[in-house]
Homo-oligomer: A and B are copies of this chain.
Amino acid sequence: MKVHVIGIGLIGGSMVLDIKSLHPEATIYGIDNNESHLAEAIALGVVDQAATFDDLAEADFVIVSVPVDVALIVLPKVLDAVGENTIVFEVGSTKTPICEAIANHPKRRNFIATHPIAGTEFSGPSAAIKNLFQGKTNIICEVEKTTFKLQEKALDLFKSMGMRIRYMDPKSHDKHIAYVSHLSHISSFMLGKTVIDKEKVEQDIFDMAGSGFESTVRLAKSSPAMWTPIFKQNKKQVVKGLEEYISNLIHFKELLENDDYDAIFNEMQSVNKIKEILNGMKK
């Protein structure tokens, strides 16, 4: 089995680590614009050897795991290069622009649009970890546009990594993910900014911040190179989500300014049901 990974970071790297565990006979080929990432991935054993686009004709699987702006450019070239039996998938956090970019490609049926909802705030080959996808959701868009045989091959792989499959159209994906992922990142980045701006003497933050602060700003460690194009591609939904979030914060501030503590209590109590929602996520 020949598996190519284009862009060897957290997601692509973790995927091929699992594939290698599941299929020890597989050869993992790496393609990365960043020479030092490629060398690091080989040194870490994440990838067996370097490859080029000319090698893609022989590939069984091609995983495209690059920032979503790069994916728009790379994906058509990948499809140009692959063979008849190659299945290509991309793993980014926006789906509408990706699906549009290859909608009319002659090899559209060799492609399956996916978004594995898994990750950490780290990036690069050293961020790759085994079993990252166990119990996680993989959202598949426009499944009907992929050749049935290759569809099955991809789904078998995802299931063998422990992923649950959910089908969704790209626009619904982008709309929902703006709320449950993209907005969390902006909330976290701007919270980090607010505190850093305020606390010029950083030692005060170190000493007074607890695990709560750490939890809410964890995502502010995320890669700007990865996230800037996500916000760009999902701009409309992200702006809408941000407007609603800002409006809720302003409302909370006004309740506080008006000393309406009963309303503040009720606001928090009604959001407490997030407990059950988060518990549901763990099932």
Contacts and interface: CB of A to CB of B under 8 A. Distances in A.
Interface in A163-210: 164, 166, 173, 176-177, 179-181, 183-199, 202, 204-210
Interface string A207-227: 111111111111111101101
A241 B220 CA distance: 18
A182 B218 CA distance: 16
B139 A280 contact: no
A219 B215 contact: yes
Interface stretch (A32-40, A84-92, A116-124, A141-149): A116-124
Which of A179, A242, A266, A273: most chain B CB closer than 10 A?
A: A179
B206 A281 contact: yes
B277 A202 contact: yes
B210 A245 contact: no
Interface of A: 117-121, 136-137, 139, 164, 166, 173, 176-177, 179-181, 183-199, 202, 204-222, 224-225, 227-229, 231-232, 235, 238-239, 241-246, 248-250, 252-253, 256-257, 259, 261, 264-275, 277-278, 280-281, 283
29 contacts: A117-B210, A139-B207, A166-B208, A173-B208, A177-B208, A179-B194, A183-B191, A183-B194, A184-B216, A186-B252, A188-B216, A193-B248, A194-B245, A194-B248, A196-B277, A197-B248, A202-B280, A206-B280, A216-B219, A218-B278, A220-B274, A221-B278, A224-B268, A231-B261, A231-B264, A235-B259, A239-B256, A246-B246, A246-B250
